[in-house]
Chain A
């Protein structure tokens, strides 16, 4: 393997286009290269439609980049079966299926699916891990509740428990705190931080720059499918880059190691909102 032991995600110059006629469509991702190490929490920033979700879907093999290569845990993603990917890489979806009367415990147990060897039932070890994860994310008291009966905050914790029970080396979380109130936003980000401190490489996309600034070890700024900037939050996040990427004037307050981004106004109100929407993506529904 060309990667050293610490490296869990190596993305080597990948490009990706949606649409059947790839050559005619603008590329959603253009020459993305990153190295993510064990235990790092990586925050992806960028405006709507910039390619954040596409990038994350490439890492867990839901999409296949047309160019470049991705290595996870030192292995070429192209050569791994989905079941092998699932044992390394977990994903926290945006929502739970709440029409089917699954209980919290049954749902969390689904995270063990890649590891269950029996035809029907999870083994003793799987069940123990499910109990541990429910305890760690404070959902044990909800274990017999149906998913449809949970509040948004409870759903977020249940989703984290399902991700954690998969014991991944890489955890992907696309907008994990999108619909949550301030307290749960912080709880979710802290949970991701804790997982990263336990050695999981966490990659999360978020529109909340302050949360990224507070919790991420490294920030990747994506705009129009390419990486604009990559590094620790204090180096990457500044007034110029936010104006350039989001078209928003901000003021940034630095207090010791922490930084706080306060939005002021759109940088150029004359500009339309549509400039980031690419024609090829319009017809494609992401999920």
Chain B
């Protein structure tokens, strides 16, 4: 039996992961060459090699820049790309609606309100130091999600309840953010900086947290790829196939909101990745989550690396906010997708 469905799928999967990883490595190195200081491709390669050999001990300024700024930033970009894409694919399966993204459950609005409050009120929490903002963003995101979940469950717990609940919570929290900003117009810069999304603040500490959280949470979701296929049939059908739907969905909703919250917490709001990447991948390789999730991971990482390189180079030495860049590329692309796939995606 040379060509069973599983063996064909495994070959596809190996191909996607292989090609995707090669491209991630190339873009990673390219990303190391972009920025204010001129570092050539060769210098980046040799610098990277030296740093690996010396365990992070730098021999010159260029290696210092690579080690302190560019490597953690590029790794963070990869991790956030993976995290947002997985979160998008999982949210779409859980809510059974291919047009939702990780923020639909109010996650981004919750994080935004948290950060706005923290920054404008000058909150400091002993022991957290510079991590105050990400921690508060994370708490805001998860709290917003819990509100959405309570609301959705009270309304019957159906897919549409989650979408509507998310919209309601999102709007309410956004107006909170707006009011806070309205009365603190003189101190908005650092809030806006976060709201626009940026990778420029990433350092080793924050990158490690993102990488570890994204790896663990994505791995758990990968383990349940088969279950995400079953859940597409709807709660009742999934139950009839023997799945314990309610605890599965509740658990996954919490994990996926944590995943989205981690991505948001350090880098701000980066929309569209979680929406577009799973779509793009579904068009090419289909909807089986055993292929969709891993493929979304590599595609998401690639897209965000490219977007970050664009942000760093277009108006160098300044940077464009990545959230805006992704949306500028994403909106027309998504419009194109909707028109092209209109017949299939009748909601």
Chain B nearest CB: distance from A80 CB in Å? 10
Q: How would residues 95 to 109 of chain B score, 1 for a CB under 8 Å from any chain A CB and 0 otherwise?
A: 011100000000000
Q: Note all chain B residues with C-beta closer than 8 A to A82.
A: 239-240, 242-244
Once the chains bind, are B226 and A120 in contact (CB under 8 Å)?
yes
Once the chains bind, are A127 and B240 in contact (CB under 8 Å)?
no
Once the chains bind, are B240 and A91 in contact (CB under 8 Å)?
yes
Chain B nearest CB: distance from A81 CB in Å? 8
Once the chains bind, are B344 and A102 in contact (CB under 8 Å)?
no
Check A235 for interface membership: any CB of B closer than 8 A: no
- 9-residue interface stretch from B54-62, B260-268, B280-288, B295-303: B280-288
Once the chains bind, are A99 and B239 in contact (CB under 8 Å)?
no
Chain B nearest CB: distance from A106 CB in Å? 5
Q: How would residues 98 to 139 of chain A score, 1 for a CB under 8 Å from any chain B CB and 0 otherwise?
A: 111111011001110110100111101001001000000000
Once the chains bind, are A86 and B229 in contact (CB under 8 Å)?
no
- 9-residue interface stretch from B1-9, B27-35, B70-78, B131-139: B1-9
Check A204 for interface membership: any CB of B closer than 8 A: no
User: Given A99-B98, A105-B5, A109-B5, are A86 and B230 also a contact pair (CB < 8 Å)?
Assistant: no
Q: Interface residue count for B (Cβ, 8 Å)?
A: 37
Which among A60, A101, A122 is the interface contact of B282 at CB below 8 angstroms? A101
Check A87 for interface membership: any CB of B closer than 8 A: yes
User: Given A97-B234, A99-B347, A130-B5, are A110 and B241 also a contact pair (CB < 8 Å)?
Assistant: yes
* Closest 5 pairs between A and B when the two form their complex, measured CB to CB: A86-B242, A83-B242, A101-B287, A100-B287, A121-B6
User: Given A100-B232, A113-B230, A124-B1, are A87 and B242 also a contact pair (CB < 8 Å)?
Assistant: yes
Check A85 for interface membership: any CB of B closer than 8 A: yes
Q: Note all chain B residues with C-beta closer than 8 A to A182.
A: none
Once the chains bind, are B288 and A113 in contact (CB under 8 Å)?
no
Chain B nearest CB: distance from A117 CB in Å? 11
Once the chains bind, are A93 and B242 in contact (CB under 8 Å)?
no
Check A148 for interface membership: any CB of B closer than 8 A: yes
CA A211 to CA B212, docked complex, whole Å: 60
Q: How would residues 191 to 232 of chain B score, 1 for a CB under 8 Å from any chain A CB and 0 otherwise?
A: 000000000000000000000000000000001011001101
Name, among B229, B234, B243, the residue most crowded by chain A CB atoms within 10 Å (CB to CB).
B229
Q: Note all chain A residues with C-beta closer than 8 A to B6.
A: 121-122, 127
Once the chains bind, are A287 and B242 in contact (CB under 8 Å)?
no
12 other contacts beyond A106-B229, A121-B290, A146-B344, with CB at 8 A cut-off? A61-B239, A87-B242, A99-B347, A100-B232, A106-B5, A106-B288, A119-B223, A121-B10, A122-B5, A127-B6, A146-B286, A285-B156
CA A113 to CA B229, docked complex, whole Å: 10
Check B233 for interface membership: any CB of A closer than 8 A: yes
Which among A84, A102, A122, A149 is the interface contact of B232 at CB below 8 angstroms? A102
**Can you list 13 A-B pairs, Cβ within 8 angstroms, ordered by A?**
A82-B240, A84-B242, A99-B96, A99-B97, A106-B5, A106-B287, A106-B288, A110-B233, A114-B242, A120-B226, A120-B290, A121-B10, A124-B1
Chain A nearest CB: distance from B296 CB in Å? 13
Once the chains bind, are A62 and B236 in contact (CB under 8 Å)?
yes
Q: Note all chain B residues with C-beta closer than 8 A to A110.
A: 229-230, 233, 241
User: Given A99-B347, A102-B232, A106-B287, are A121 and B9 also a contact pair (CB < 8 Å)?
Assistant: yes
Check B41 for interface membership: any CB of A closer than 8 A: no
Check B345 for interface membership: any CB of A closer than 8 A: yes
Of residues 66 through 83 on chain A, the ones whose CB sits less than 8 Å from some CB of chain B are 81-83
Which among A97, A101, A148 is the interface contact of B96 at CB below 8 angstroms? A97
Q: How would residues 258 to 274 of chain A score, 1 for a CB under 8 Å from any chain B CB and 0 otherwise?
A: 00000000000000000
Check B250 for interface membership: any CB of A closer than 8 A: no
